[in-house]
């Protein structure tokens, strides 16, 4: 047990939504006076520990997230597991993010002091109720919690377009699509972007594109108000807005095995490409059994084809 005189530490697992919002939550808890500990980058030990506690049909990123939780178990006073239901009106997050705190608590069945904050743009009352619960749990004045949330977290979600990645002046460009926790986790992606960079390519990702442009280009959801998944719209919109650039050599879609959202998105992209764009698409599917040698062979073959 940590000394009661020591500043409390909040643990943040380096998985799933961490790659989009992790630094924001770090700033939020530090503003409230807590120390923050982030789990180490994904490795084989974290993966193996997560696999033990999940069923076979659980997708790879969720298995890895469980491993990150266990890596923080004896190093923190509390572990933060956000519940993302919706980050934009008329959009929803993947079901695994909607039920993540419940899934983790059920699978690990341990006294981990897990707590949540609900993000639901379609029912904001849920968010503020969860902030009240956090105020009581952590012993922090509710107004301070509310101020930190409004000034740090809410501003982040409202200003996502300001965080676009700049594109360098480089001739060879390729689109890398998929969930951020697949693209930016170097272990799960097998350093895909680094490998492309070494081959002389710049990897466009959804972070290069404004949210408004992605939504207007998200075939077949563009121009209509329909409920869909936020990451799905990001990837659909990224694919078709990037195809307006004549120098995009190809599209690589990195997906975890058995991802329901991606099964829809990739099908829509394939249909949209037919007869409209002469750009090759490769789907790279990974799970805990994927070997890097086979992964690299497929990547090399694809790059040889598009030269």
* Domain boundaries, given as residue ranges, for the chain: 9-158, 165-306
CA distance to 45, 121, 138, 227, 261, per residue, from 251 (Å): 31, 31, 45, 25, 18
pLDDT in the model for residue 47: 94
Residue with tokens 């694919």: 239
Reading the block at residue 71, the tokens are: 């890596």
**Distance between CA atoms of residues 203 and 173, nearest Å:** 6
pLDDT in the model for residue 4: 47
Q: Give the 3-state DSSP-derived string for the chain, with helices as H, strands as E and coil as C.
A: CCCCCCCCEEEECCCCCHHHHHHHHHHHHHHCCCEEEECCCCCHHHHHHHHHCCCCCCCHHHHHHHHHHHHHCCCCCEEECCEEEECCCCEECCHHHHCHHHHHHHHHCCCCCEECCEEECCCHHHHHHHHHHHHHHHCCCHHHHHHHHHHHHHHHHHCHHHHCCCCCCCCEEEEEECCHHHHCCCCCCCCHHHHHHHCCEEEECHHHCCHHHHHHCCCCCCCCCCCEEHHHHHHHHHHHHHCCCCCEEEEEEEEECCCHHHHHHHHHHHHHHCCCCCCCEEEEEECCCCCHHHHHHHHHHHHHHHC
pLDDT in the model for residue 161: 56
pTM: 0.88
Architecture of domain 9-158: 3-Layer(aba) Sandwich (3.40)
pLDDT in the model for residue 258: 83
Q: Residue 307, Cβ neighbours under 10 Å: how many?
A: 7
Q: Residue 118, Cβ neighbours under 10 Å: how many?
A: 21
pLDDT along the chain (307 residues), means of 10: 64 94 94 95 94 88 95 92 88 87 88 90 89 94 94 83 58 90 94 93 88 82 73 88 78 91 90 81 92 93 87
CATH code for the structural domain at 165-306? 3.40.50
Residue with tokens 């490795």: 43
CA distance to 26, 28, 184, 194, per residue, from 234 (Å): 24, 25, 15, 22
**Is 165-306 the same fold as 9-158?**
yes
Q: How far is CA 9 from the centre of its chain?
A: 23
């Amino acid at each position: 047990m940590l000394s009661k005189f020591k500043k409390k530490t909040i643990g943040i697992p380096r998985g799933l939504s961490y790659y989009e919002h992790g630094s924001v939550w770090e700033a939020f808890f530090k503003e409230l006076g807590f120390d923050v500990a982030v789990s180490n980058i994904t490795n084989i030990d974290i993966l193996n520990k997560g696999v033990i506690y999940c069923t076979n049909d659980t997708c790879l990123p969720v298995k890895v997230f469980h491993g990150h939780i266990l890596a923080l178990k004896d190093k923190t006073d509390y572990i933060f597991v956000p519940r993302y239901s919706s980050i934009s009106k008329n959009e929803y997050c993947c079901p695994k993010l909607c039920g993540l705190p419940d899934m983790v608590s059920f699978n690990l069945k341990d006294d981990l002091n897990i707590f949540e904050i609900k993000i639901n743009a379609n029912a904001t009352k849920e968010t503020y109720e969860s902030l009240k619960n956090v105020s009581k749990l952590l012993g922090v004045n509710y107004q301070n919690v509310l101020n930190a949330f409004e000034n740090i977290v809410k501003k982040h979600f409202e200003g996502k377009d300001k965080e676009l990645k700049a594109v360098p002046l480089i001739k060879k460009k390729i689109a890398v699509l998929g969930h951020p926790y697949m693209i930016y986790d170097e272990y799960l992606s097998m350093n895909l972007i680094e490998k492309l960079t070494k081959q002389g390519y710049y990897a466009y990702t959804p972070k290069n594109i404004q949210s408004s442009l992605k939504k207007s280009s998200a075939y077949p959801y563009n121009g209509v108000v329909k409920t869909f998944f936020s990451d799905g719209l990001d990837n659909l919109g990224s694919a078709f807005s990037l195809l307006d650039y004549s120098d995009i050599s190809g599209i690589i879609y990195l997906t975890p095995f058995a991802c329901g959202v991606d099964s829809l998105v990739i099908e829509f992209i394939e249909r949209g490409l037919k007869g409209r764009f002469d750009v090759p698409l490769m789907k790279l599917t990974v799970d805990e059994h994927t070997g890097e040698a086979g992964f690299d062979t497929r990547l090399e073959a694809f790059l040889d084809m598009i030269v």
